[in-house]
Structure 1
Amino acid sequence: MDTEFLKDSGDLEALLRVADVDDLDVLVDYLTDSGAGRISLSESTLKRFEACKHARLYPAVDRAEIAREIVLFGGNSIANIFRGGKGVSYTELVGDVASHLKVAHTKGANAMAIETAIVSKLYDETLSKMPTFERKRFIFQDLIHLNNEPDMGDMPESLFKAQVVANGMASKMLGRGIKLGDWAPYALFLTPFGLLASVWSAVELTGAAYRVTMPCVIQIAYMRQKALCGPLPCKCRKCSKINAPDAKFCSECGDAMPQGPVASTAVTAPFL
């Protein structure tokens, strides 16, 4: 899949068209308050999204509706009237969240650049607030381990940070972490970040609208980075040859490959 368009596009619907079901479930839980409903969300839309979750199937029309509801939350009711019910643009929404969090960003920057700035600030602030011993352990042990897994391609820093922050947000807002597929082995190293003090304080001090838009933006930032990275390379443990994702034996040395992708694993925060 060509993912170059995701780097500069503020087209949220286009990103959601290639999103995994588990990631869409998180967005739906943010929009619906985990199924409890919200004043600004119609009963029919709530039922529609809950049906998609139950069936684990999001048709294109429902993915588009999720995108529409997110941008509607991004504008106040008066502004939305003048926009014909379309809400703000996604890029405008991301910029507004960044301003609310006091994240510096260049005027006219694209959505991905602003998302990255938001994630980086929250991640860096979290590191700075961790106890010294835990921070050193993470930097000098966990990251070294992540970059040297014999059967994994190196996890890009941008994806790793987005994963950590998205997991912290979901743990706080939904009482559960995000779910990971091919990158599941890294889940073990996200649990120390369950606390994520920066995200917690940002949520607690925010207004009602930002309790929807802020977690959605963080989740979308993670989804974008995952989409840009594509499937995890299927690397042979013995000779490091990159094989097809469904390969049973290495095409170079014949060694047995891991059987299929790693099952999705919920990342939980033990300190909640």
Structure 2
Amino acid sequence: MSQITDIHLAEVLNSASQDDLAILVDHITDKGAGRIALASDVCARLYAAAQRKELGDAEKTLIAEELQRYAGNTIMNIFRGGEGIPYRELLCDVATRFKIDVSPVESVADIEMAIIKKVLIQSVDKMTPEEREEMAKQLGAKRVVGAGPIASSALIALIRSTGFAPYKLAAIVANAIARALLGRGLSFAATGTLMRGISVLSGPVGWAITILWASVDLASPAYRITVPCVLQIAFMRQAAIVRLCSNCEGELAQHAAFCMHCGTKVPDSTWATEQAAA
């Protein structure tokens, strides 16, 4: 049984696929090359287990512990007994880095998605007008009106209206970051409608995210670990909670009564049941 003490990390790591955990390990260990703040034996153990796709409870606990240590100030970690900081504190620190205001009552999932959307928006801002126009065309719009922030806002609104719910947004950003830093993308198990459209955005958004990553001022080397890890964890959390339509495999919005892709009634929807009985 996993000994992960942080509930926000436990619920994600314990339900994640081996492929997704392996991406997280590569971010933490620098693809097995090691980092100054990471013990060589821990690095070797995590990387070897990831290569074999045998990351068990003990390795998941190590992932959580190392991620929390990276995020904490070294001196403060001594006073904490070397345990690092809670994931929510790590997450709020990353959000602050991206100039995102966080409410004390916001859930961890909501904060993660706020970071995902901020990265996406900043990436669109990095695009040329021609790239924005091309993306809009691929998404079914004739053109994006405006320039600069106005054009970026219009394009983001278009992305949302096209049905890119949290899972897909998180997948696009996490995949682009993995490709930029690790040289390989995520392994998507899902097929069909669920992943439809991701290829449309992965190209231009992926290029923009790569440019954004290169230009972001990350004063502390720890951010070069915690930021991509947060983006990967955000994707993993959404992958754990996403619901699929039984008919078309499309992603269902939270509390949806019917599938927005094919109209099939969601079996566990109280609202849909009441409407059908009316």
TM range, normalised to the smaller chain? Answer: 0.7 to 0.9
Structure 1 residues 143-177: Cα deviation after superposition (integer angstroms, max 9, x where no partner): 78xxxxxxxxx965212221121122112211222
What is the Cα deviation at residue 142 of structure 1? 3.1
CA distance in 2, matches of 1:94, 1:143: 35
**Is it true that 1:17 corresponds to 2:14 in the alignment?**
yes
Cα separation, partners in 2 of 1:172 and 1:51, compared to 1, 3 Å: same
What corresponds to 2:139 in structure 1? 142
For normalisation by structure 1, the TM-score amounts to 0.73
Aligned identity (percent) is 36
CA distances 1:194-219 after superposition (whole Å, capped 9, x unpaired): 21247414655442110111110011
Name 1:170's counterpart in structure 2. 178
Q: CA deviation at 1:102?
A: 1.5
Which amino acid letter does the alignment assign opposite residue 204 of structure 2?
P
For 2:85, the aligned partner's letter is: V
Q: In the alignment, what sits opposite 1:208? A: 221
- Out of 216, 229, 237, the residue aligned to residue 224 of structure 1 is 237
Aligned partner (choices 116, 126, 140) of residue 123 of structure 2: 126
Q: Which amino acid aligns with 1:25?
A: A
User: Structure 1 pair 233/50, CA: closer, same or farther in 2 (3 Å)?
Assistant: same
1-structure distance, mates of 2:181, 2:248: 38
Q: Larger relative contact order (C-alpha < 8 A, sep ≥ 6)?
A: 1
Q: Is the 8 A contact 2:32 2:43 kept in 1?
A: yes
Alignment deviations for residues 33-55 of structure 1 (CA, whole Å, 9 cap, x no partner):
11100111112211211221121
Q: How many residues align?
A: 224
Q: How has the CA–CA distance of structure 1 residues 165 and 143 changed in structure 2, closer, same or farther, with 3 Å as cutoff? A: farther
Long gaps (5+) in structure 1: 1-8, 145-153, 243-272
Letter in 2 for 1:135: R
Letter of the aligned partner of 1:35 in structure 2?
Answer: G
Structure having the higher helix fraction is 2
The unaligned stretches of length 5 or more in structure 2 are 1-5, 142-161, 250-261, 266-278
**Selected match of 1:188 from 190, 199, 207:** 199
The yes-or-no answer on 1:28 pairing with 2:36 is no
| Residue 49 of structure 1 pairs with residue 60 of structure 2 | no
Contact 2:218 2:224 in 1 (8 A): no
TM-score w.r.t. structure 2 length? 0.71
Q: 1:163 to 1:111 in 2, by over 3 A?
A: same
Provide the C-alpha distance between the structure 2 equivalents of 1:202 and 1:90, rounded to a whole number of angstroms. Answer: 26
